[in-house]
């Protein structure tokens, strides 16, 4: 059976990935000649690609032995993957506990590729009222309770870069569309340790979120709860805020956060 033609195939990228995959526990350091022979790629091509990989931290070069070995950038990326798996494993029972306590839809989100990504969700599947954000959904970086929270913990220049690429847009009549007004919120969000989205992403829906920290003290995720605004009074809202913050702290503790 013929294979479908891949229109976006990139030969240089494929060769660069093969270089990285050539390393193993048995072969942790390889010379240009060894890479050329193992991959059947011209030595000059290997040198060009390896130089680029070194420049971006994916490879390192030993000037004395003239050999290459895997760079720390791969360790950083691997740590992100490991953290994601560990995060969901640690968080899931705590999210379920929060759902049982509040009876409200609970989310776990991360900030990945300059977007909000939902990676877990606890809800009553028999409830006719559903929230559209499901596991695996991607949202704009400024979207709702998670977007504002994640952006508030990023450096100012990073926020500018992200929102230049993804300009603020009104989702509801309550949405903030001014970058200046958005940034004015950040100090308070960081100080109080949570954010309340009052119908800025979905009309008639309020969301509460709190940050999750990793062993390095960095915000790696957020816990959130969404509910129909008119169905919750001020006392119940305080209960939800406290529950979300407590669960976020518990997850952070299990991830080894030094700030908890």
| Predicted local distance difference test score (pLDDT) of residue 1 | 42
Read off φ and ψ for residue 218, nearest 5 degrees.
-100, 150
Give the CATH number of domain 11-70. Answer: 1.10.10.10
Say whether 78-254 and 11-70 share the same fold.
no
| Predicted local distance difference test score (pLDDT) of residue 259 | 66
> How many C-beta atoms lie closer than 10 Å to residue 149's C-beta?
29
| Predicted local distance difference test score (pLDDT) of residue 238 | 97
Helix, strand, coil tally for the chain in percent (to 5) = 45, 20, 35
| Predicted local distance difference test score (pLDDT) of residue 3 | 47
The model carries a pTM of: 0.68
Query: Residue 34 contacts by C-beta under 8 Å, 6 or more apart in sequence?
Result: 27
| Predicted local distance difference test score (pLDDT) of residue 88 | 85
Share of the chain above pLDDT 70, in %: 89
| Predicted local distance difference test score (pLDDT) of residue 77 | 81
Assigned CATH topology for domain 78-254? Beta-Lactamase (3.30.450)
Read off φ and ψ for residue 144, nearest 5 degrees.
55, -150
Is pLDDT at 5 greater than 70 in this prediction? Answer: no
**What are the structural domain ranges in the chain?**
11-70, 78-254
Among positive and negative, which fits the CA dihedral 162, 164, 169, 175? Answer: positive
For the stretch 47-82, pLDDT in tens is: 999 999 999 999 999 999 999 999 988 887 876 666
Mean pLDDT rounded to a whole number for the chain: 89
Taking each helix axis from N to C terminus, what angle separates 72-102 and 234-254, rounded to the nearest 10 degrees?
Answer: 140
């Amino acid at each position: 059976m013929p294979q479908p033609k891949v229109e976006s195939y990139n030969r240089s990228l494929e060769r660069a990935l093969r270089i990285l995959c050539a390393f193993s526990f048995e072969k942790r350091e390889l010379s240009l000649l060894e890479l050329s022979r193992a991959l059947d790629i011209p030595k000059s091509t290997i040198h060009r690609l390896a130089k680029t990989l070194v420049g971006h931290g994916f490879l390192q070069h030993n000037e004395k032995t003239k050999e290459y070995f895997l760079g720390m950038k791969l360790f950083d990326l691997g740590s992100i993957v490991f953290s994601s798996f560990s995060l969901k494993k640690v968080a899931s029972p705590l999210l379920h506990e929060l759902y049982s306590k509040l009876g409200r839809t609970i989310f776990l989100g991360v900030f990945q590729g300059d977007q909000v990504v939902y990676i877990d969700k606890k809800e009553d599947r028999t409830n006719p009222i559903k929230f559209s954000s499901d596991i695996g959904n991607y949202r704009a970086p400024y979207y709702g309770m998670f977007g504002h929270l994640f952006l508030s913990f990023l450096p100012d220049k990073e926020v500018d870069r992200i929102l230049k690429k993804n300009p603020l847009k009104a989702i509801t009549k309550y949405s903030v569309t001014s970058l200046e007004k958005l940034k004015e919120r950040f100090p308070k969000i960081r100080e109080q340790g949570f954010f309340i989205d009052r119908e800025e992403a979905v009309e008639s829906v309020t969301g509460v979120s709190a940050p999750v920290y990793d062993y390095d003290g960095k915000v790696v995720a957020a816990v959130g709860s969404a509910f129909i605004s008119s169905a919750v009074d001020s006392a119940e809202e305080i209960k939800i805020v406290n529950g979300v913050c407590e669960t976020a702290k518990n997850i952070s503790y299990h991830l080894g956060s030094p700030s908890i």
